[in-house]
Amino acid sequence: MILNERDLREARTSAAVLDAALSSEHVLEPMVKGLPPEVVVHVTRAMKAERTDLAGVIAAYENAKDSGDHRPLQKRAGSDPGLTLIVARIAKGMSQRDLAWRLGVKEQQVQRYEADRYSTISLKNYERVAALLGVSLRAEISDIKELRGLDLVIDDVSKENIRKIIKHGRENGWFSEGADKEELRRFIAENRITFGSPSLLRTGLNVKDHSEDILLHAWRARVTNRALEIIDADKPRYVPLDVTWLPDLVHLSVFADGPKRARDMLLEHGIVLVTEPQIAGLAIDGAAFLIGEIPVIGMTLRRDALDNFWFTLLHEVAHAILHYRTGLAVGFFDQSEAESVDDQEAEADTFASNILIPEERWRKSAARIARSPAIVERFAEDIAIHPAIVFGRIRKERNDYSLFSQKIGVRQVRSVLIAET
């Protein structure tokens, strides 16, 4: 959202950059340097989506500011009470200084209110601001299942699953040894309040409804809490469609500590990677979703092998880059062995495959049909990636997982990423 003139200037600058890139190959070329042609196609499509969204964001802000039509901007704010106050101020033509004068406070106080979306304001003061801006407050008791109250948030969950989650949480540092059902209830409920009702969750690969999958909720709550700690400590900033660093990310795979280096590089570019073991029975490999404007990738590492790690990671990175405006807010929760039937999942698969091993190089390579590990390893060296990635692709393409089973980097990921956390 655009909520002030600085945001507007940044949005216009971004729109101008995208306009230039989409209209000139000369401008686009340095932005996608080193990327395979198939990946460039996907990135260009995402650029068009980003440009369309920016146009809508700019128009929504200008309509509110210039004509007082708050509806497009309010639609983007949704039901967020803090954003609603900011939208109302803009639509009424008030500056932060104007509102501060009417409230009898310093301008800096209003700036602080708006910086944190009024999340720390008292209810009494919220009512004062709302009254000045013509925003009505309404509270009602609802029978909607998703809003049935914190005490009922795990009411329908089996005792077996509750025991399973609590046991897993104790063993992996989620809870104290004395954790009980009530602590689990609070753990999941707090995440649901902040990040949406369970009906927003889905698995992208098979597009099944997992809205009541308590294992998925608990795992997402844990990943979210850890990601929030990282965001609070490191203050990452994500720039949509900055992809110049992607080739370097792939080449990190050649290092023994490549997964750790990848996590650090992602954070440098505003993407938070959290590795959190799965709860028994969950069967999730990776996830990608948003916390505010920051993409978060969660990985379970249930298959501790380098080939699986790098493909899953780049699949989730694809979601963060390609689907930032078209699905990441809802989230993707993926099983790597499942067949992709969803367009966005198929796109993420293609992106991951091509960024790791460019299709043009792969079609011409003897490694595709090789039986000798040496040929495969030479090909991996030529394209500067870990050979485990190539061996993994051969196993998948030939549908023969008995091949090269000692070459896919088994037990070389958790020791790098989870053991230290």
| Percent share of the chain, pLDDT over 70 | 89
Say what the pLDDT of residue 139 is.
72
Q: What is the C-alpha to C-alpha distance for residues 376 and 98, in angstroms, rounded to an integer?
A: 68
Say what the pLDDT of residue 416 is.
93
Rounded mean pLDDT of 4-13?
93
Buried b (16+ CB within 10 A) or exposed e, 20-30: ebeeeeeebee
Rounded mean pLDDT of 130-146?
76
Q: What is the C-alpha to C-alpha distance for residues 305 and 303, in angstroms, rounded to an integer?
A: 6
Kindly indicate the confidence band of residue 200, based on its pLDDT and cuts at 50, 70 and 90.
very low
Question: Which among 58, 56, 85, 60 has a CA at the least distance from the CA of 73?
Answer: 60
Say what the pLDDT of residue 180 is.
83
Say what the pLDDT of residue 384 is.
97
Kindly indicate the confidence band of residue 183, based on its pLDDT and cuts at 50, 70 and 90.
confident
Tokens encoding 401: 């997982």
Say what the pLDDT of residue 350 is.
94
Say what the pLDDT of residue 295 is.
97
pLDDT tens per residue, range 40-61: 999 999 999 999 999 999 999 9
If you search the block for the tokens 């932060």, which residue do you land on? 96
Question: Helices (DSSP H) in 174-305: which residue ranges?
Answer: 181-195, 214-234, 246-251, 258-268
Rounded mean pLDDT of 314-321?
96
Global pTM value: 0.88
Q: What is the C-alpha to C-alpha distance for residues 241 and 106, in angstroms, rounded to an integer?
A: 38
More confident residue, 141 or 79: 79
pLDDT tens per residue, range 94-117: 999 999 999 999 999 999 999 889
| φ, ψ for residue 297, nearest 5 deg | -110, 125
Say what the pLDDT of residue 160 is.
87
What rounded mean pLDDT belongs to the chain?
A: 88
Say what the pLDDT of residue 155 is.
65
Kindly indicate the confidence band of residue 134, based on its pLDDT and cuts at 50, 70 and 90.
very high
Kindly indicate the confidence band of residue 196, based on its pLDDT and cuts at 50, 70 and 90.
low
Kindly indicate the confidence band of residue 195, based on its pLDDT and cuts at 50, 70 and 90.
low
Q: What is the C-alpha to C-alpha distance for residues 27 and 71, in angstroms, rounded to an integer?
A: 36
CA 314 to chain CA centroid, nearest Å: 13
Say what the pLDDT of residue 104 is.
94
Q: What is the C-alpha to C-alpha distance for residues 159 and 376, in angstroms, rounded to an integer?
A: 50
Question: Which among 174, 392, 161, 388 has a CA at the least distance from the CA of 277?
Answer: 174
Do 347 and 319 touch, CB atoms closer than 8 A? no
Tokens encoding 373: 């590990």
Say what the pLDDT of residue 182 is.
81
More confident residue, 396 or 206: 396
CB neighbour class for 120 (10 Å; exposed up to 12, middle 13-18, buried from 19): exposed
CB neighbour class for 210 (10 Å; exposed up to 12, middle 13-18, buried from 19): middle
Rounded mean pLDDT of 130-145?
77
pLDDT tens per residue, range 262-311: 999 999 999 999 999 989 888 889 999 999 899 999 999 999 999 999 99
pLDDT tens per residue, range 15-39: 999 999 999 999 999 999 999 999 9
If you search the block for the tokens 């699949």, which residue do you land on? 315
Rounded mean pLDDT of 165-190?
85
CB atoms within 10 A of CB 325: 18
Say what the pLDDT of residue 213 is.
78
Q: Is the pLDDT of residue 419 over 60?
A: no
Tokens encoding 360: 């043009």
CA-to-CA dists, residue 82 to 7, 71, 386, angstroms: 17, 16, 48
Q: What is the C-alpha to C-alpha distance for residues 305 and 259, in angstroms, rounded to an integer?
A: 11
Q: Is the pLDDT of residue 232 over 90?
A: yes
Say what the pLDDT of residue 205 is.
43
pLDDT tens per residue, range 333-355: 887 766 656 788 889 999 999 99
Say what the pLDDT of residue 176 is.
83
Do 236 and 229 touch, CB atoms closer than 8 A? no
